[in-house]
Structure 1
């Protein structure tokens, strides 16, 4: 028996909230990378903060969107350990991609490799997040849509990394973040169209089990990280410094560690 699935059980609330998570994560990743290039002596710290923020933003996007996921007449639960593993995986892979791009320059080869690493982390996170779902049945995917989603993910993560090392003006990076939010959230919902549910039998929802409550608790940590990272970036002295947002990196040798003098 095939289950009736919806990704919008709360209407437009979850897609909008998921988009905000992706946009905030993208914005923090871009701004932290800009700070890392301006301050080579603290490059590792800024890249680490950007990696964690971007990873948490993507992960929060996925599970915020999953709040709206529902199977008619079926109790949906999640394996807590797999949920945490998915968060660790995406942060590690995003960090690998961002550190590679941040230290090795903006060459096409480096950005493509970094994009592949990061994209695989995003896809693996989504796969682990979906495999964490526990129902009285099984999940099946359309292979063609999965492949298209994978390719799309590699492209948008590569573009995100290019933006991180190339776009330094404040308003340009904010605009890029809005576009990245659409792309990342769209990737999730496109991927979800590949899903079909096959139920083992008729299952009624256990009203004592709150899927919403579980996901909200799981999201609390990453949301706190995003809030702290936002505060750090907002109060950074260079944040609204017009001179600091000049694309000085365009005049630096590609792949070099040269940076604008720290004031």
Structure 2
């Protein structure tokens, strides 16, 4: 699903060059659920932005779902992003004046899908996240966990092949975080590829595979991963055994 080879992303100022991604090489197979971990400044967000075609990179090659996206035009990247990728963010990004149905429907309207198809997609997605009884509720009438589930339903309605999640439980308490992670696990079980950036050892432990970033580099050996866990997230050390 996702194949990167020697990806480099450099931020330049007059005085210094910062390698946000430094020779990143990795693959994520179709249907995998992967947690990307690393302390602040390790390159996690930059990695997710590049993977989601929200940002460009300076060197390397990137294939998404078998298509080389390294040298595509902005319009071509926008098409692939809209058709193949769904984004879940820490902030829910719901429109306060729209109810659940209309919030989920927004991206489908931009894709100019027929009204009947949009309605079916929205209702199916909302049912998947367990909010069918809240279709006409505004975001302010929902809990934080329910708002995140609406955001996830909005992603599911687009039927993406790849879901990129950036700290999806970052604004939630422990109980609501578990509910959202339960939902992501169910989505993964249905065959969707998920790449999740997280600081949370508990959330990361839900993913069968972990990718560790440190200073823009992938730590790709067992010894590196164990050292990463010991130095940056001691409570994760046991969880990834």
The normalised TM-score by structure 1 is 0.28
Higher strand proportion (structure 1 or 2): 2
- Larger Rg, first or second structure (1 or 2): 1
The normalised TM-score by structure 2 is 0.30
Higher helix proportion (structure 1 or 2): 1
